[in-house]
Structure 1
Amino acid sequence: MNKASASIIGAGLVIAFGLMGAQIASAIIGFKTWDRVITVKGLSEREYPADHVIWPIQFNEASNDLSDMYDTLEMHSAMVTRFLTERGIKPEDITVNQPEITDKLAQQYGGDSKVEFRYSAIQTVTVYSENVELVRSVMPDITDLLKQGVAFANQQWDAKPEYVFSRLNEVKPDMIEEATLNAREVAEKFAHDSNSQLGKIKRANQGQFSISPRDGHQPYIKKVRVVSTIDYTLVD
């Protein structure tokens, strides 16, 4: 009986160790498979029209009489506002900002009593509108006000039209899906070429969205771009 019991126990141990060895071997193979990773990038790039425009309109005034200069600024601001509204731009989309006044004789350095005009000012009237096409159509005609005495300032870096695309959250899901599918296509091609099969996703990074003008001549067309980075496992 003792010999029989010992034989049964020995056989059980042999079977147990065999199963344990098989499990360990399977785990090692799985670990090695999980360690075989390919990193691919998927691109989604689309173009959309801007849905908002910010148009700063700047003009200059100069005088030796501060009160007279303010009166002229108000008159020319009203002329610019009327010009815009007559062409269909909503009054609530137009803002008349406070003028920037410079007193040349009051400057700490470089004061010159021989200057022709003591005071100078830059006035800005800003259009902020969702009707991008309408505003763009009005822009070339603003110079008509030159004939009425409005002296427009040279276009400064902060006075250039700015076009905004604000619907990023609407287009994100489709673009992320497109980038993910693009990455998988690249990964499948790599797996096929290496006589392997594509496994599960090990790690994924959505990537940052970027919005930029199509080019310097068409800033009202926005290029939206995202690059997703995905790690796939490879299996034999």
Structure 2
Amino acid sequence: MQQSSAFVLGLFLLLSAGALGMGLGSSVVKYKQLERTVSVKGLAETEVEADVVIWPIQFTRAGDDLAKLYQELERDTKLVKSFLESEGFSTEELTVSAPVVFDRLSNQYGQNEGGYRYILNQTLSLYSTQVAKARGAMVRIGELGKQGVTFKSDMYENRVEYLFTQLNAVKPAMLKEATLSARASAQTFADDSQSKLGKIKAASQGQFSISDRDKNTPHIKTVRVVSTVVYYLND
């Protein structure tokens, strides 16, 4: 009798647990079916001025007397430095690299097909937060050509770089703008579906990107961010 009672009790508990599990499972399915959401993206863009400029200034000398070329290049370096200091830049903002010497007789063919034997290139780099001053100096530095300085124009090696380093200062306002943009899109979707826009279920911040506004104004940057927000929709 005791064994029979225990068996009946165990069977009853097993059936009860199964029924409860089925009931809970059905409730979860119904809840999932009732949960409606909309995922939208919000865009924020702003234009900013670069706050750092990196300006590599390269000048060159050519000839057959190497010692004389070094002297001439040293003179050119002093002229360029003096010019930049007169434009309001400090010596701490200037970096002079070692001269690069090219010997045309030591090339892979071992021949000099006419022209000077040696070519010396010197690079002086300006790293400064005085962007506007640097842009003005770029216009006037050509005047040194009247004093014998020969600048080397290489758009790849001597490309001026402009940087924007104050991203943290514009992040809060841009994230707010992106969220408002996303909410406006979600509200439109809710109105079209005759629903009410609910609370935020989830949100993710996209990466900030900084790019030149265009190729003619690289000192003006476009900062961009896209945020993804998921909202509940209520009937």
Q: TM-score, normalised by structure 2?
A: 0.85
Q: 1:110-151 CA distances to partner (integer Å, 9 max, x unpaired)?
A: 332343211112211111110111111111000000111111
| Structure 1 position 27, deviation (Å) | 4.2
* 1:85 paired to 2:85: yes
Residue 143 of structure 1 is matched in structure 2 by 142
Alignment of 1:21-40 (within 5 A): 27-34=28-35, 36-40=36-40
- Check the 8 A contact 1:96/1:126 in 2, yes or no: yes
SS of equivalent to 1:159: coil
For 1:154 and 1:104, locate their aligned partners in 2 and report how far apart those are by CA, in whole Å.
20
Superposed CA RMSD in Å reads 2.0
Q: TM-score, normalised by structure 1?
A: 0.85
| Structure 1 position 164, deviation (Å) | 0.4
Residue 72 of structure 1 is matched in structure 2 by 72
Residue 53 of structure 1 is matched in structure 2 by 53
Q: 1:79-118 CA distances to partner (integer Å, 9 max, x unpaired)?
A: 000011012112211111112211111122x332343211
SS of equivalent to 1:152: coil
Q: 1:165-207 CA distances to partner (integer Å, 9 max, x unpaired)?
A: 0011221122112111110111011111111122333332211
Give the letter for the 2:58 counterpart: Q
SS of equivalent to 1:82: helix
Runs of 4+ in 1 over 3 A off after TM superposition: 23-29
Q: What stretches of structure 2 of length at least 5 have no aligned partner?
A: 1-18
Q: What stretches of structure 1 of length at least 5 have no aligned partner?
A: 1-16
For 2:102 and 2:132, locate their aligned partners in 1 and report how far apart those are by CA, in whole Å.
36
Residue 212 of structure 1 is matched in structure 2 by 211
| Structure 1 position 44, deviation (Å) | 0.6
Residue 111 of structure 1 is matched in structure 2 by 110
After superposition, the Cα gap between the structure-2 partners of 1:211 and 1:119, relative to the gap in structure 1 and judged at 3 Å, is same
Give the letter for the 2:33 counterpart: K
Deviates further, 40-49 or 63-72: 63-72
Q: How many residues align?
A: 216
For 1:137 and 1:130, locate their aligned partners in 2 and report how far apart those are by CA, in whole Å.
14
Residue 122 of structure 1 is matched in structure 2 by 121
Give the letter for the 2:104 counterpart: K
- Check the 8 A contact 1:33/1:234 in 2, yes or no: no
Alignment of 1:146-185 (within 5 A): 146-185=145-184
For 1:33 and 1:76, locate their aligned partners in 2 and report how far apart those are by CA, in whole Å.
78
For 2:229 and 2:135, locate their aligned partners in 1 and report how far apart those are by CA, in whole Å.
41
